[in-house]
Structures are given as C-alpha cells and as structure tokens.
Amino acid sequence: MSKILVTGGCGMIGSNLVKRLVKEGHDVSIIDNLWRGKLEYLNDESGKPVIDIDSRFFNIDLSDGHADIDKIVNDNEYVIHLADIVAGIDYVFGNQGGLFRQNNLINTNLFASVRRAGKERIKGLIYVGTACSYPLTRQNSLDVVPLREDELFPALPESAYGWSKLMGQLEIGYLEKETGIPCCTLQFHNVYGSPCDFGERSQVIPALIRKAINYPNEEFIVWGSGKQGRAFLHVNDVVEALVRALDKGWGHGWIQIGPSVCTSIAEIAETVVKISGKDIKPFFDTTKPEGDKARSADYSKAKEILGWEPSVSLEDGLRQQYKWVENEIAKSNKQ
C-alpha cells in the first residue's frame, strides 16, 4: 500500500483513477476545487464515497498557493498531478490569457510543494501533459502522420492551453534533475468517458451526445467542418496507463498516450446519431472554431516502457458514455 495524492481527483480521469487505486489497496487523498469535478463522482455503486471525504478530500484551488498544500503533499509518498483548467474549444480559445496564467500557477505551486518535501519523502511525481502541446505545424493537415515524442520541440502549440501544459513539462524536468525525485510525464490525447461535464463547457463528445439526447429540442450542431480529427482515448485506457506509470514510468521523460487512429468529428457525430436511434442530420457550423486539423499518436514508447496500448473500441466507449449522459439527463429532468 502506498499513500498517493491525486490532484483533480474529482474529475472524469481523477475519479476513475481514485477508484482503481483504492480498489488496489492504496491510501488516496484528493485535492480538487470542484470547478468541473464533483464529489458524487467518487461514489461507488452503493452511493458511498470510496474515500473518507472529511479526512482525505481537500477543496483547494492550487492556483492560489494555499498554505495547506505543503502539509498535504508531505503526508503522501506519490503525487499524480491531473489538475488543470480546460474545457471545450470555445472556452479554451475564449479565455487564453487567464487559462495560461492559472495553469502555470497550478503547476508551479504544486511542484514547489513537492520540491520542499524532497526525495526523502516523495517517491514519485506523475504529471499529465497533452497532445495539444505538439507543434501546430504537425497538426495542420488532414494527412495524418502519428506524432512522436521527439517532435515536441521546436515548440509551437496552437493554444495557450498547449503552451501552459508544455511549461509544466519543462518545470517537472528541471525538478527531477535538481531534486532527484523520480518523475514521469504522460501526454494524453483526447480523453472521453464518464463521469463527465456535458454542459456548456463540455468537450466535443459529451456535447454531441447531449445534443442527440435532447434532439429535437436542441439542435444537433457540430462545430467546424467535421473534417478535423483527433485520437480519441477512453478514460479506462487512461487509468490503465497511469497505474502502469506508477510501476514502470520513472525516468523515461514524456510518454505519449493515445491511439494511432485519427477519427474525424464527422465520424463521431455519425456514430452518436447511430447510437441515438434518431433520424438526425448533423449541421456543420463552419463559423465556429475547430482547432488543430488532425492528430494521432505513435504510442510505441508507451508500449515498450509501460506495456500499454488502447483496449476500448471507440463505438463501445461512445455507447457507454451515451448511456451515462442519458441517465444523468433523465435524473435531472425528474428533479
């Protein structure tokens, strides 16, 4: 058993990871300001939280540099840093300055506490990066060649979000060299699954699922041309990568986590419509931003070091998420 701190532990990735770690016998603590995460996401099938909320959950905004962060970090052996500010593409491109500043503060405040704790206390730090940090020049064509880790520099992310996450990767690299604390950076591609935010700040898959469920009361509008594509990654595969990184990920720099297949947003929309069973014709709003053209992952490093590769098929994952969002909307309508 290890004592593990998960920042952002009430979000989609964090809540699933916490449940897995608790199931494996670890003593887990959480820092989360509940900007997008929810405490109810930590509940097991009986409706009870999998950790002691009173003693193991800390409602803290890491960007504020809260005085209790040092104490919480010192009480743990491993830190898995998931917390950041991110939402749908409209939010990301509409709040770039504030998002950049907050993510840098979140990272540097947490890393400063880890530094102060030192390698005598902290056995390992895992940081979660993003494929958005890769150069725009490698993501501005529909002719997709899977991204490799050695292409991260020279840096040219498209968004402030990608830049902020890249700054975190640089800082954790300096921290590892200067303190000797084992570190690992996993760069995630586009993660989907449940539980999730499916409201106005949601990302593309939960937004399309919500629109399909609410149709015809809500229009089924797809942002952009639909030609843009991403390497979609189910949250279960993400959790598997994180658990394996705790065992095997130390000292290997950054490791990309995502499938080698690029799926267009139009294909996602078509699959969601198919799952809905409704007669829906998607409307593609080309006045809306669509971000990078396309990307996918060369995950050979993850396979070699972690023994990891994607296991959840896209349609199976979309069906699972559709059912979850449908149930949540039904519960909301009854209230």
CATH code, domain carrying 132: 3.40.50.720
* pLDDT per residue as tens digits for the range 137-146: 999 999 999 9
* pLDDT per residue as tens digits for the range 72-128: 999 999 999 999 999 888 899 999 999 999 999 999 999 999 999 999 999 999 999
Residue 269 lies in a domain: no
CA dihedral (56, 59, 65, 66) positive or negative: negative
pTM of the model: 0.95
Residue 88 lies in a domain: yes
Residue 32 lies in a domain: yes
Residue 201: its pLDDT value, please?
81
Nearest-10 crossing angle of helices 12-23, 235-248: 50
The 8-class DSSP code of residue 41 comes to: G
Residue 202 lies in a domain: no
| Residue 335: pLDDT over 80 | no
Model confidence at 289, pLDDT cuts 50, 70, 90, reads: confident
**Three-state DSSP state, 24:** coil
Cα gap 262→229, rounded to integer Å = 6
| Residue 206: pLDDT over 90 | yes
* pLDDT per residue as tens digits for the range 74-83: 999 999 999 9
Residue 227: its pLDDT value, please?
95
* pLDDT per residue as tens digits for the range 145-189: 999 999 999 999 999 999 999 999 999 999 999 999 999 999 999
Angle at 186 between CA 183 and CA 187, to 5 degrees: 140
Residue 199 lies in a domain: no
Residue 325 lies in a domain: no
Number of structural domains in the chain: 1
Residue 278 lies in a domain: no
Residue 302 lies in a domain: yes
| Residue 51: pLDDT over 80 | yes
Domain that holds residue 61: 3-193+232-259+297-311
